[in-house]
Amino acid sequence: MPFRTSHLTAPLRRRVLYLAALAALLIASGIGILALVLARKSSEAFSLEAKSRDILTTAERVVSALTTAETAQRGYLLTHRQSYLDPYQTNVTAANENFAELRSAK
């Protein structure tokens, strides 16, 4: 059953119309505020996701550098060739730099 205003007087109709408009304005304002809060939270989540991705990438570089250094070390220990020491030193340095980057990530 629809709401009928035909039996209301003009001033009362106007009050009902103003109250309805006020209610719609409050609802729209609430939705707008909620949208702003959710957008802010979404932005924070995106920032944390990007930081996590950077940390994981750095950790992968540490593992890769250590694996390569270990392989070079093993090659040197088996053959005593100096050519294996260059990749060993390079990758130990890279691993240390990446570890330092991980320690400073907060």
Query: Is the CB of residue 61 less than 8 Å from the CB of residue 69?
Result: no
pTM over 0.75: no
The residues, ordered by sequence, that sit 6+ positions from 78 with a Cβ below 8 Å of its Cβ are none
Confidence of residue 96 (pLDDT cuts 50, 70, 90): very high
pLDDT digits (tens, 9 = 90+) for 27-66: 999 999 999 999 999 989 999 999 999 999 999 999 999 9
- pLDDT exceeds cutoff 80 at 2: no
| Distance of alpha carbon 34 from alpha carbon 40, whole angstroms | 10
Burial of 61 per CB tally in 10 Å (0-12, 13-18, 19+): middle
What's the token pair of residue 39? 């957008």
* Lowest mean pLDDT across 31-35, 66-70, 84-88, 102-106: 102-106
What's the token pair of residue 23? 């209610």
Confidence of residue 68 (pLDDT cuts 50, 70, 90): very high
